[in-house]
Amino acid sequence: MANEQTADRIRFLRLLRQVRNFEPRPVPQEAIDDILEVGRWTGTASNSQKLEVVVVRDRQKLEALSGMGFTYTPPGAPAPVNTAGHIAGAQAAVVIITEGKAEQIEMEAFDEGRLVERIMLAANAHGIGSGIAWLSIEGGRAACRLLGVPEGRRIKTVLSMGYTDAEALRARPKRGRKPLEEFAHIETY
Ligand SMILES: Cc1cc2nc3c(=O)[nH]c(=O)nc-3n(C[C@H](O)[C@H](O)[C@H](O)COP(=O)(O)O)c2cc1C
């Protein structure tokens, strides 16, 4: 039987959601520092530690990054969305930089996913919401130029960050998750 602390931890993990609307309140530097420390300690394949990040708070840069996504219509959505549009309203962004080596793309993608999820959880531990934004291929190159990232590196994912606009989150159409029995198969498929 799980005790209260375990139940709290499980709830904390289970309730993490994508946030795309933020309050105008700035994010404290100490929260960013904690988030970066969690990121730095995230495990990578063979402990290669190839990932780096750029933290962006500058409004003009945030706005520029928000234009580097692509349009996409999620399943069931009434209209196309700009994948990176929410960066414009964020108070900060964490831009993930991978080595960009084609021969290790799977490893990089896996490491990147682990890092992103942990950063989102660390932000949530500070009561800060965050949202994934994928950039287009050209957008990723433009982001490298904007941020002075060395040639050849790759930017695909940007995390926008800020205190969650709770009302906007509540007003969002609810898309839940498929039932447990469709997700988890025990012993055999
Ligand atoms: C690999 C990946 C890429 C994503 N790219 C974007 C994106 O470009 N823009 C965006 O707004 N959300 C993006 N998302 C967020 C998903 O839309 C979100 O996780 C999903 O809708 C579930 O949201 P919820 O946890 O709030 O229910 C991405 C998520 C993942 C896992």
Query: 18 CB less than 6 Å from ligand 1?
Result: yes
Query: 124 CB less than 6 Å from ligand 1?
Result: no
Q: What was the pLDDT predicted at 1?
A: 63
Mean pLDDT, contiguous 10-residue spans, the chain (189 residues): 91 96 97 98 97 98 98 88 97 98 96 98 98 98 98 97 92 88 97
Residue whose CA is at the smallest distance from ligand 1 atom 20: 18
Q: What was the pLDDT predicted at 20?
A: 96
Residue whose CA is at the smallest distance from ligand 1 atom 29: 132
Each residue's pLDDT tens digit, 62-104: 999 999 999 999 888 889 999 999 999 999 999 999 999 999 9
Q: What was the pLDDT predicted at 177?
A: 95
Query: Is 0.75 surpassed by the pTM of this model?
Result: yes
Q: What was the pLDDT predicted at 97?
A: 98
Residue 3 Cα, ligand 1 centroid: separation in angstroms? 32
Residue whose CA is at the smallest distance from ligand 1 atom 6: 133
Residue whose CA is at the smallest distance from ligand 1 atom 14: 132
Q: What was the pLDDT predicted at 172?
A: 82
Residue 58 Cα, ligand 1 centroid: separation in angstroms? 24
DSSP for 35-74, written as a single string: HHHHHHTS--GGG----EEEEE--HHHHHHHHTSS-EE--
